Amino acid sequence: MYIHIGNNNIVNSDDVIGFFDYNIMNDSLINNVVNKNEFEENKIKSIVITQNKKNNKIYLSNISTNTLRKRKL
């Protein structure tokens, strides 16, 4: 099953490691990994981390973590 995570991104639900609230993660190490320049910071609501056989990816999403969790079910 695939999940639309916002910003024209669709990921396989089996590849999702987790959905994290951006405001909570704001001061953590992940902030150094993500390139925020392509987004308006006030529109970022969540961070989505995925992993498949080839690579790991981190997405910034304008959709809240609660909504993304509901979509995964």
Tokens representing 31 are 């902030």
Domain containing residue 55 = 2-72
Total domain count, the chain: 1
Q: Give tens-digit pLDDT for 1-20.
A: 899 998 889 999 999 999 98
What does DSSP assign to residue 15?
A: G
The model carries a pTM of 0.78
Q: In terms of Cα–Cα distance, which of 15, 19, 18 is closest to 51?
A: 15
Q: Give tens-digit pLDDT for 47-72.
A: 899 998 889 998 889 999 999 988 87
